[in-house]
Amino acid sequence: MEAKLVAMDNTENPKLGFKVKTVKGLQIISPEMALTIFLQKIIGIFENFTNQEVTKVELRHFGSKLSPAQISALKFVESMLKKEVIYLPK
């Protein structure tokens, strides 16, 4: 599956999203939803392999501080996954 970065609306400063092919045809999903789907898949693989439930996700960042948009995205992921998401700088 190939995902292409596209504008999500027609405003002068549009939010970007990923255009992906789904069973419902081509759809544009937000970066927050893409991150949620990615982490949900990784968590599912871990839980199936270990037979342990994941309650907390720790993410490490090796660059600069998180932007407000990145912090917002992590809060969105946390609410969607219903799991604690912790950001650990360096």
> Could you read off the pLDDT tens digit of each residue along the chain, which spans 90 residues?
566 667 777 777 667 788 888 888 888 888 888 889 999 999 999 999 999 999 999 988 767 778 888 888 899 999 999 999 888 876
Other C-beta atoms closer than 10 Å to the C-beta of 32 total 20
62-71: long-range pairs with CB below 8 Å, 24+? 62/90, 65/89
pLDDT at 54: 94
List 4's β-bridge partners, or say none: 19
pLDDT at 45: 96
CA–CA separation, 80 and 36 (whole Å): 7
Report the amino acid identity of residue 66.
Answer: L
Domains recognised in the chain with CATH numbers: 4-89 (3.30.420.40)
pLDDT at 22: 81
pLDDT at 1: 52
pTM: 0.76
pLDDT at 27: 84
pLDDT at 20: 83
